[in-house]
Amino acid sequence: MARRSRQREIDEADVEVGAPQDHAAGPTAVAVSMKRAIGHMGVKRTAQTLLRLNQADGFDCQGCAWPDPSPDHRHTAEFCENGAKAVADEATRDLIGREFFAQHPVAELAEHTDYWLNQQGRITEPMVLRAGGTHYEPITWGDAFATIGRHLTAIEPDQAVFYTSGKTSNEAAFLYQLFARAYGTNNLPDCSNMCHESTSVGLAEVIGIGKGSVSLEDVHRAELIVILGQNPGTNHPRMLSALEEAKGNGARIVAVNPLKEAGLVRFKNPQNVRGVVGHGTGLADRYLQIRSNGDLALLQALGALLIERGAVDRDFVERHTTGFEEYAAALADLDWDKVLRSTGLTRAEIEDTADLLAASERTVFCWAMGITQHHNAVATVKEIANLAFLQGNIGKPGAGLCPVRGHSNVQGDRTMGIWERPPGHFLDSLQRELGFDPPREHGYDAVAAIRALRDGDAKVFIGMGGNFVSAAPDTSVTEEAMRAADLTVHVSTKLNRSHVVHGREALILPALGRSERDLTGGRVQRVSVEDSMSAVHTSHGPLKPASPYLRSEVDIVCSIAEATLGQGHHLPWAAYRADYAEVRRTIAKVVPGCASYDEKASQPGGFVLPHPPRDTRTFPTKLDKAIFTVSPVEVLEVPPGKLVLQTIRSHDQFNTTIYGLSDRYRGIENGRRVIFLHPDDITALGFAEGDLVDIISEWEDGSVRQVPTFRVVSYDQPRGCAAAYYPETNPLIALDHTAEGSNQPAYKSIIVRLTPSDGGSTGVVSTLASTYTRGDEAKRTVEPDQLS
């Protein structure tokens, strides 16, 4: 098969808009997986990797956090199109080393999109950008670690920021937080701060643990599955197999989503005949096309109707909960007019959903970013919990709370202590077992880290994976913050924008990926991960590494620790590096629920971490009960002429890694700068389908943000709502626009207006061009050529 060109940029003039599809997967998904895999890896590596993916003795998919079936239920091909894309992207034979960086000045790289940067291939050796330098140059690992050590010992520990993305293994994550705390700071922001932080905060308050309460088996056995604010066909594709199985067992599904998403409508399972040649399985029995951010009102209305109909599990409520009286009293006064305005649904639709709930003995509630990325997200998460408590849908088979996590190990990283607000008992246990006094003050989360860097309060940024610059909100402000740092360090597999928007000095440290054999310390090392349902298991990659100079994340953390804390430091960094089982033995002593961690994680299928509400209906909250809460319904008012914009993923990206330009379920090919609108809004705003517009957001402090040249596309969604892809739209989101209580960026509700695009540029549009005007400053236009 022909090798792909690595020189493609996005030419938005090529965008094709077709009809959205009415189903997900089917044979196309298999064809796309194979084409991408073979194109990147060739036939042999494709066979070597895909057959080991998600197998009991293989490696864990580095895509999303959806769990694997138990070992005796696994198929030979236990992966989805996006898993195959994730593997192909990592295991690509395209490589970049010193010659590449010598040919391309950083200023030139900064003009490219994340799409182009990622295509260049795997980074093969450590690189440094010296102060005032124009190009990245090679550096030895030893000198790279010494550079980090020199910077970290020259500043106060709280002036350093240690970011983590969610692919990092439990072993590397545990050591990373251990190092940061031994060094002296809790500045451990992570991608979770931008992802399910609202879930973690909300659930911790009302059930006593910030994690979901279901197993895969529960999903299969549910009578009713409510899926709010999630697009599983693209982002958790194997969840569709679980939904199909549940349907086979008689389950009903209610989808709550402003956008009509193909993956919620119908699934053609490529692993069975019906999926390949038949119509597949219809998924959602009810599709509630809710107005953006109407979920809290919907959930309260459902609660009110259930109480009215007496569909309440009195025994559960009495034994296990507190606050029911206040909750019921508040709902008795529910303002239905507000509910209908907030949700945009009819009373009949809501009544009908209440009927389904009332009739179900076992309901699972699933949710993702459509819930967590709003200003009142914590309240909405707690409202989901209220509804579950009402019918006792927690801690019984076939029922429960199922926040579906994003990155493959984001939940594990948190379990291992990647958290800027660590609980006291975790720090006590570090202190007791490892003999040092960890800092107690809370550290910076992602948004606070940006402010600290911008304001000069932080000087060094270290990213364990991820692409912080593109993932964070308020791109111009984030870029300004990164440029103000003395040193930025990225432990990475592929090139991305965070490498080219850098501090005074910058390092790129190339790491082994999940698919690669890790022979650190001269032995085959395994790592462990935790999925969205708290199941932990080990993983080891089959492939020869992309380059002999790559190091594992564990090795990199241990080496940074030695270079910073000194060789004589009392923690056994060399022993941790030599044998990851040693790390697991330390995890066993420190992390709650991890006794005999090494043995349990290594057994086939691994083990499931304890979860008191799920296991025994005990709720370790401050009141020792599940807590009903009361939150105000607010209608997200959209002023005339404006829209509420949500920022979403296409079918061909993993977060800021843009694999390709096909969002085929939504009918978009070969381009990304589109804005989806209701057809009547297009007309009402004076535009026509296909027009080019600039998107503008205006904020209370007088600041204005703008991204140019998006093509208007009509899409089935409620009036007043709009959607466009991330990260192109991140420049629009003010840094302060975050969820109450979790400080998570409210990426899904941005009030915007559109103006005709004067640029008229239908050709290559850099993702970078954006305008940012501060309330207190003259208009400042940021163009790509001014960026370095």
Ligand X SMILES: Nc1nc2c(c(=O)[nH]1)N[C@H]1C(S)=C(S)[C@@H](COP(=O)(O)OP(=O)(O)OC[C@H]3O[C@@H](n4cnc5c(=O)[nH]c(N)nc54)[C@H](O)[C@@H]3O)O[C@H]1N2
The residues binding ligand SF4 (CB under 6 A) are: 54, 61, 63-64, 66, 79-80, 82-83, 86, 236-238
Show Cβ contacts of residue 382 under 8 Å, excluding neighbours closer than 6 positions. 202, 205, 206, 629, 631
Task: State the minimum distance, in angstroms, from the CB of residue 751 to ligand SF4.
Answer: 33
Q: From 290, 240, 258, 247, select the one nearest 23 (Cα to Cα).
A: 240
Choose the contact partner of 409 out of Mo ion, ligand X, ligand SF4, none; CB within 5 to 8 A by kind: none
Choose the contact partner of 259 out of Mo ion, ligand SF4, ligand X, none; CB within 5 to 8 A by kind: ligand X
SS3 719: coil
- Find residue 249's DSSP bridge partners: none
Pick the stretch among 35-43, 100-108, 288-296, 780-788 that binds ligand X (CB under 6 A). Answer: 288-296
The answer to whether 542 and 515 are in contact (CB under 8 A) is yes
- Which phi and psi (to 5°) does residue 522 adopt? 80, 15
Smaller CB separation from ligand SF4, 151 or 540: 540
Cis peptide before 510 (omega within 30 of 0): no
Q: Is there binding between residue 67 and ligand X (CB under 6 A)?
A: no
Q: Are strands 487-492 and 460-464 parallel, antiparallel or unpaired?
A: parallel
CB atoms within 10 A of CB 60: 28
β strands within 249-293, DSSP E: 252-256, 266-268, 281-282, 286-288
Size of the chain, expressed as the number of residues it contains: 788
Q: Is there binding between residue 230 and ligand X (CB under 6 A)?
A: yes
The mark string for 164-203 relative to Mo ion (x by CB under 5 A, - otherwise) is -------------------------------x--------
Pick the stretch among 173-181, 506-514, 689-697, 767-775 that binds ligand X (CB under 6 A). Answer: 506-514
Choose the contact partner of 258 out of ligand X, ligand SF4, Mo ion, none; CB within 5 to 8 A by kind: ligand X
Q: Is there binding between residue 656 and ligand X (CB under 6 A)?
A: yes
Among 53, 175, 239, 256, the residue binding ligand X under the rule CB under 6 A is 256
Choose the contact partner of 167 out of Mo ion, ligand X, ligand SF4, none; CB within 5 to 8 A by kind: ligand X
Task: State the minimum distance, in angstroms, from the CB of residue 90 to ligand SF4.
Answer: 12
Among 229, 280, 671, 718, the residue binding ligand X under the rule CB under 6 A is 229
Show Cβ contacts of residue 47 under 8 Å, excluding neighbours closer than 6 positions. none
Q: From 780, 764, 761, select the one nearest 693 (Cα to Cα).
A: 761
Smaller CB separation from Mo ion, 343 or 409: 409
Which residue has 């395994």 as its token pair?
526
- Which phi and psi (to 5°) does residue 172 adopt? -65, -40
Task: State the minimum distance, in angstroms, from the CB of residue 738 to Mo ion.
Answer: 15
Q: Is there binding between residue 235 and ligand X (CB under 6 A)?
A: yes
Write out the DSSP string of 631-642: ---------TT-
Smaller CB separation from ligand X, 230 or 703: 230
Among 466, 503, 613, 708, the residue binding ligand X under the rule CB under 6 A is 466
Choose the contact partner of 165 out of ligand SF4, ligand X, Mo ion, none; CB within 5 to 8 A by kind: ligand X
Choose the contact partner of 241 out of Mo ion, ligand X, ligand SF4, none; CB within 5 to 8 A by kind: none
SS3 481: helix
Structure tokens at 754: 């559109």
Among 244, 349, 445, 553, the residue binding ligand X under the rule CB under 6 A is 553
Cα-based distances in Å from 407 to 63, 165, 591, 632:
6, 8, 21, 32
Among 406, 417, 422, 463, the residue binding Mo ion under the rule CB under 5 A is 406
Choose the contact partner of 80 out of ligand X, ligand SF4, Mo ion, none; CB within 5 to 8 A by kind: ligand SF4
Which residue has 């000087």 as its token pair?
459
Task: Tell me the number of residues near ligand X by CB under 6 A.
Answer: 62
Task: State the minimum distance, in angstroms, from the CB of residue 495 to ligand X.
Answer: 7
Structure tokens at 550: 């790559």
Task: State the minimum distance, in angstroms, from the CB of residue 234 to ligand SF4.
Answer: 10
Structure tokens at 722: 């709009």
Smaller CB separation from Mo ion, 58 or 727: 727
Which value, to the nearest 10 degrees, does the dihedral of the CA atoms of residues 759, 764, 765, 768 take? -140
Choose the contact partner of 83 out of ligand SF4, Mo ion, ligand X, none; CB within 5 to 8 A by kind: ligand SF4
Choose the contact partner of 427 out of ligand SF4, Mo ion, ligand X, none; CB within 5 to 8 A by kind: none
Q: Is there binding between residue 370 and ligand X (CB under 6 A)?
A: yes
The mark string for 289-328 relative to ligand X (x by CB under 6 A, - otherwise) is -x-xx-x---------------------------------
Choose the contact partner of 491 out of ligand SF4, Mo ion, ligand X, none; CB within 5 to 8 A by kind: ligand X
Task: State the minimum distance, in angstroms, from the CB of residue 406 to Mo ion.
Answer: 3
Cα end-to-end span (Å), the chain: 38
The maximal CA–CA distance of the chain, rounded, in angstroms, is 71
Among 41, 283, 471, 601, the residue binding ligand X under the rule CB under 6 A is 471
d(CA 723, CA 64): 22
Q: Is there binding between residue 488 and ligand X (CB under 6 A)?
A: no
Write out the DSSP string of 150-190: HHHHHS-GGGEEEEE-TT--HHHHHHHHHHHHHHT-----B
Task: State the minimum distance, in angstroms, from the CB of residue 638 to Mo ion.
Answer: 26
Q: From 475, 467, 290, 471, select the one nearest 371 (Cα to Cα).
A: 290
The answer to whether 249 and 397 are in contact (CB under 8 A) is no
Q: Counting beta carbons within 10 angstroms of the beta carbon of residue 542, is it exposed (0 to 12), middle (13 to 18) or buried (19 or more)?
A: middle
Task: State the minimum distance, in angstroms, from the CB of residue 123 to ligand X.
Answer: 8
d(CA 521, CA 512): 14
> Any idea what DSSP says for residue 20?
P
Binding site for ligand X (CB under 6 A): 63-64, 82, 165-167, 191, 194-195, 228-231, 234-236, 256-259, 261, 290, 292-293, 295, 368-370, 373-374, 406-407, 464-468, 471, 491-494, 496, 511, 513-514, 553, 646-649, 653-657, 726-727, 729-730, 747-748
Q: Which residues bind Mo ion (CB under 5 A)?
A: 195, 406
